[in-house]
Structure 1
Amino acid sequence: MQDVNLNSEVQNVTIPQSMINIFAQSIYAHLEAVALDANASLELFENQEYTQVKTFLQANIQQMQYALNNVEILGRMEQKSI
């Protein structure tokens, strides 16, 4: 997982709740898109297009890593806003 530590200048900045809410909504939309795309890998698998399944799953892993990092950042942002 990528490092999500913020530099010391940014750590002291108060983030408005509205920005946190927008960021949370973008993560939600991203996770919805990943969930909807999961069906595509099943169709590829049923058609025995295994190379495309592998490529699709590798891309999905990358997207999930980005989502994981964003959720971690969101958690830290919400802790700072309290």
Structure 2
Amino acid sequence: MLNGTCYLPSQLPPSIRCPRNEKAVTNEHGEVECDCRPGFVYYDGDNTCYEPYTRGPCLPGYVIRVSKSRGSRGVYILLAFLPQ
């Protein structure tokens, strides 16, 4: 509910639309929040969702990969490595 009006996630006003690679989901309290799209993982270093094994926030020549999962929402710790 926003200003007394209920919206489907796809109908949210542009001012509260989710960032790139994220989608609006309903949490356990019935509130709409943004979460990573399927196949993407959250990197808390810059509060962004990335596709694994792409450059993401890494320097040129490096890619992001999943190290291990933590938390109930599938939040991941991401590491950079130089491809062989």
Q: Which has the higher helix share?
A: 1
* Shared fold (TM-score, shorter chain, > 0.5): no
Interval of TM-score (by shorter of Structure 1 and Structure 2) = under 0.3
Instruction: Name the TM-score, length of structure 2 as normaliser.
Output: 0.21
The higher radius of gyration belongs to 1
Instruction: Name the TM-score, length of structure 1 as normaliser.
Output: 0.22
Higher relative contact order (CA 8 A, sep 6+): 1
